[in-house]
Amino acid sequence: MSRPAVRLHDSAGEDTAVAESPGVSWRAWLDAFRGVRAETERRAAPLSAEDQVVQSMPEASPAKWHRAHVTWFFEQFLLRPFAPSYCPFDERFAYLFNSYYVAAGPRQARPQRGLITRPGVAETAAYRAHVDAAVAALIETTQDRDSVIPIVEIGLHHEQQHQELMLTDLLHAFAQNATHPAYDPHWQWPQGERSATIEDALVAGIHMIGHDSVGFSFDNERPAHQVLLQPVRIARALVTNGDWLEFMADGGYTTPSLWLSDGLATVEAQGWNAPGYWQHVDGAWFSMTLGGFRPVDPAVPVCHVSYYEADAFARWAGKHLPSEAEWEVAATAGVLDDAFGTVWQWTRSAYSPYPGYQADPGALGEYNGKFMVNQMVLRGSSLATPAGHSRKTYRNFFYPSARWQFSGLRLAEFER
């Protein structure tokens, strides 16, 4: 069986293309596995033991839990079924580090992951090393690579998702600290690519969207299907902090007509008057970033806004958010600035199955499908997304009130 290429991120920060095909051996998959696992440890390296155990809200998870959970994933779905001689590091970890896979057994409640002080950081590292050795041995020796490699592949993409979550969750925790700790004091906002023109991109007509099965995809990206788009202009550029400051100055957070009912209720309940992590200090706006507490730069894309805020801003601007189909068609045409690697972009599309959607079989089928209600789709990728983990068909999804993710927006307007 031939496996399509998948691009992964290695420990040196380079993209690695691998494929289970006549021209690429299992050694490429072993290198990819080691590279992704090393990237998780690289991201965790600046953190103290105390940093790794904190859980600042029910929706976030401690860094140590992320490191252990992705290890449990390989243990549960790869080693237990395909390595008969494998000896689990600690059977109790299955309860502690399962996330939401009901078919895999009982689990620690999500809001209580921060109570898992033990195993400690050192034992978690030993757990990772134990599983890494077993996975490497399995890749090297298995006679059933047609079954093993697809699980390795999805496990690596799953781990890359958690690499991003480690940073988003950690930033939320650091934002609760009055000393404003920096994850990386040298961190800088990414320098995106700008097109020569600022004219909005026009998309219309019948187009194919969704994944065409060439290369890796999650099941929620499939099947590819046709969509009919009414003529719509999509902004090439992302909305900036400067744009958002104008919205705020014009009473954006206090004008009920701009807000969805649930959005206004959230604004009033949470006391929002600016994007997440913004603080007004001595007449100026500052924001908590991965580099610490810094002045808000009007030129960079706005970040840490919820769907409710994005929708209200679009209404204030006399426009709307693009649908995920409009976004994908425009991204495929290459007419969007900063489509990837800056901020995830809210769309106006509810997270629901594509026509003909089928969840992956078994427990892995719980990965995406059961969340297809009450959430909104974001497209692109963010500054925290690992290299090689972005694609035009990727469907991220969050509840409309969520804003601890690196989430922003671009605008759209129907052609008149």
Strands 344-350 and 407-408: parallel
Residue range 285-341, pLDDT digits in tens: 999 999 999 999 999 999 999 999 999 999 999 999 999 999 999 999 999 999 999
Angle (CA) 86 90 96, round 5° = 125
Within a domain: residue 195?
A: no
Instruction: Tell whether 47 and 130 lie within a shared domain.
Output: yes
Residue 346, domain CATH = 3.90.1580.10
Instruction: Tell whether 356 and 405 lie within a shared domain.
Output: yes
pLDDT for res 196: 63
In the structure encoding, which two tokens stand for residue 139, read together? 């890749």
Q: In what order do the strands lie in the sheet with 412-414?
A: 201-209, 225-234, 412-414
Three-state SS sequence of 150-161: HHHHHHHHHHHH
**Mean pLDDT value across the chain:** 92
Instruction: Tell whether 215 and 133 lie within a shared domain.
Output: no
Instruction: Tell whether 221 and 326 lie within a shared domain.
Output: yes
The region, left, alpha or beta by phi > 0 then psi within -120 to 50, assigned to residue 180 is: left
pLDDT for res 214: 83
What would the mean pLDDT of 54-79 be, rounded to a whole number? 98
Do 255 and 247 touch, CB atoms closer than 8 A?
no
Per-residue pLDDT band for 19 (boundaries 50, 70, 90) equals very low
Higher pLDDT, 5 or 335: 335
Within a domain: residue 180?
A: no
Within a domain: residue 225?
A: yes
Residue 29, domain CATH = 1.20.120
Instruction: Tell whether 112 and 238 lie within a shared domain.
Output: no
Within a domain: residue 189?
A: no
In the structure encoding, which two tokens stand for residue 352, read together? 């629901």
Instruction: Tell whether 27 and 136 lie within a shared domain.
Output: yes
Within a domain: residue 193?
A: no
Within a domain: residue 240?
A: yes
Instruction: Tell whether 381 and 237 lie within a shared domain.
Output: yes
Residue range 83-116, pLDDT digits in tens: 999 999 999 999 999 998 988 999 999 999 999 9
- Taking the CA atoms of 87, 89, 93 and 99 in sequence, report the sign of the dihedral they define: negative
The answer on pLDDT for 63 being more than 80 is yes
Per-residue pLDDT band for 23 (boundaries 50, 70, 90) equals very low
Instruction: Tell whether 144 and 226 lie within a shared domain.
Output: no
pLDDT for res 15: 38
Instruction: Tell whether 170 and 209 lie within a shared domain.
Output: no
Overall number of domains in the chain: 2
Residue range 113-133, pLDDT digits in tens: 999 999 999 999 999 999 999
415 by Cβ neighbours in 10 Å (0-12 / 13-18 / 19+) ranks as exposed
Within a domain: residue 18?
A: yes
Instruction: Tell whether 154 and 236 lie within a shared domain.
Output: no
Domain ranges, residue 401: 201-414
Residue range 170-204, pLDDT digits in tens: 999 999 999 999 999 999 999 876 766 678 999 99
Angle (CA) 278 282 288, round 5° = 25
Within a domain: residue 190?
A: no
